[in-house]
Amino acid sequence: MAICRICSNSSLNMSYVAREMMFGYRDEFEYFECSNCGCLQILDIPSNLSKYYPENYYSFKSKCSYEDDRNPLTIFADKQRAKYYLGYGSFLGNILSKRRHPLSRYEGSSLHFFDWLRVAKVKLNYKILDVGSGAGNLLLNLHKNSFSSLTGVDPFIENDIAYENGVKIFKRELNQIQEKFDFVMLNHSFEHMPEPLTTLKELWHILKPNRFALIRIPVASSFAWREYQTNWVQLDAPRHLFLHTVESMKMLAEQANFKTKEIIFDSIEYQFSASEKYVRNIPQSCDDESLKLTQEELMSFREKADELNKNNDGDQACFYLYKP
């Protein structure tokens, strides 16, 4: 019997069989969708997931290349611009923001993260923890944009990493972190964790009062899941153990004593272009040329993603959890 690990419902849950398609193993896994909270979850968590996190998986990078050759004037300008993007800048920051790297919510932009941080009222001197950081690409980018106290944690990296600029990445589980932080973020790592409620309680423990945790995850309460079902790229069997809905996330947050302050949908065209690969039985690891999408099709996918986000129906969202 499939019993929901979020709300304990066992009635009328719908079963699905999904294949591993990122690397093209095509191994099959049973998932079920809770009829009460809507959470889509793997029925049996594999005892050994290592096969599905091979050496070329992103988290196994030992260290990112990093070079910061900015002069003092550039550093000053970047700091003023960062303050402006965070919502507490000056006239100078406003001017500089128009001259350098316009903001974009798409992750190809080096500054997309400012949109997330501004909502949580993050300041440049905040102690920030990135859970599931890999080798620290995001943290290094934050450092280049004037953030100063940056830590990452990821149990899948080979060893601890200490960058010369002060960014630290620890090969640890979240429950091994004892420091307190002003802001904690999980960027598409929460769905990989086998005990979501335990994880939220651990976040509560390390987060300072009157601060936010940001959880960015794929969401099953979305057009892409309804449209593609087991070909939805963000199902990502078996690595994604839980594909939450807005309802199941609110339930978990309340159980962990968080207040859900904001939910912002930030899906992109990937939900369509990548899922279309799976419809055609093409692994994600294959070159995009194998799909042969036109620029017009890609633009249409982007426009559709924007429309879905406006209607709270995109396939990924930012959950801002507040600790009073």
Q: How far apart are CA 311 and CA 302, in angstroms?
A: 14
CA-to-CA distance for 276 and 282, rounded, in angstroms? 9
Residue whose C-alpha is closest to residue 236's, from 11, 42, 91, 37: 42
Q: What is the pLDDT of residues 37-93, one digit of tens each?
A: 999 999 999 998 988 988 777 665 667 766 677 777 777 777 888 888 888 876 666
322 pLDDT band (50/70/90 cuts)?
very high
In a domain, 280, yes or no: yes
Lowest mean pLDDT among 6-20, 107-121, 170-184: 107-121
β 40-42/242-243 pair status: antiparallel
Query: Do 28 and 76 lie in a common domain?
Result: no
Same-domain pairing of 41 and 74: no
Task: Look up the pTM and report it.
Answer: 0.92
SS3 23: coil
Same structural domain for residues 259 and 158? no
142, 101 Cβ separation under 8 angstroms: no
- Category of 136 on φ-ψ map: left (φ > 0), alpha (ψ -120 to 50) or beta: left
183 shares a domain with 75: yes
Q: Identify the CA nearest to 168 among candidates 144, 184, 149.
A: 149
Does 55 fall in a domain?
no
Q: Is 172 inside any structural domain?
A: yes
Same domain, yes or no, for 98 and 37? no
CA 150 to chain centre: 17
pLDDT digits (tens, 9 = 90+) for 120-164: 999 999 999 999 999 899 999 899 889 999 999 999 888 999 999
Determine the structural domain holding residue 300 and report its residue range.
Answer: 1-45+216-317
pLDDT of residue 300: 95
Residues 15, 113 within the same domain: no
Whether residue 57 lies inside any domain: the answer is no
107 pLDDT exceeds 50?
Answer: no
99 and 182 belong to one structural domain: yes
Choose one of 160, 193, 226: the last residue of a domain. Answer: 193
pLDDT tens digits along 251-305: 999 999 999 999 999 999 999 999 999 999 999 888 766 677 888 998 999 999 9
Is the same domain home to 158 and 88?
Answer: yes
Give yes or no: residues 277 and 176 share one domain: no
- Note whether 74 and 179 are same-domain residues: yes
The answer to whether position 199 is within a domain reads: no
CA–CA distance, 60 with 211 (Å, rounded to integer): 31
Characterize the bridge pairing of strands 161-162 and 127-131. unpaired
DSSP assignment letter at 299: H
106 vs 116: CA distance, rounded Å = 12
Q: Cα(131)–Cα(7) distance, rounded to whole angstroms? A: 25
Q: Say if 323 falls within a structural domain.
A: no
Residues making up the chain, counted from first to last: 324
pLDDT of residue 313: 98
Domain final residue pick, 158, 193, 228: 193
Please answer whether residues 284 and 21 qualify as being in contact, where contact means their C-beta atoms are separated by less than 8 angstroms.
yes
Q: How many CA atoms lie within 13 A of 291 on its CB side?
A: 23
Q: Residue for token digits 């440049």?
A: 124
With a pLDDT cut of 70, the percent of the chain lying above it is 90
Residues 180 and 245 occupy one common structural domain: no
Backbone conformation region of residue 292, classed left if phi is above 0, alpha if psi is from -120 to 50, else beta: left
Residue 64, domain member (yes or no): no
pLDDT of 106 above 50: no
Q: Could you tell me if 161 and 262 lie in one domain? A: no
In a domain, 141, yes or no: yes
Which pLDDT does position 105 carry in this prediction? Answer: 44
Q: How far apart are CA 18 and CA 43, in angstroms?
A: 11
Tell me what pLDDT residue 94 has: 65
Does pLDDT of 316 surpass 90?
yes
Stated as kind and residue range, the H or E segment containing 84 is helix 72-86
Task: Provide CB contacts within 8 A for 190, sequence distance 6+.
Answer: 132, 196, 199, 215, 216, 217, 242
| Predicted pLDDT at 73 | 77
- Asked if pLDDT for residue 18 goes beyond 90, the answer is yes
Greater model confidence, 108 or 111: 111
Number of domains composing the chain: 2
Tell me the pLDDT tens digit for each residue of 167-216: 999 999 999 999 999 999 999 999 999 999 999 999 999 999 999 999 99
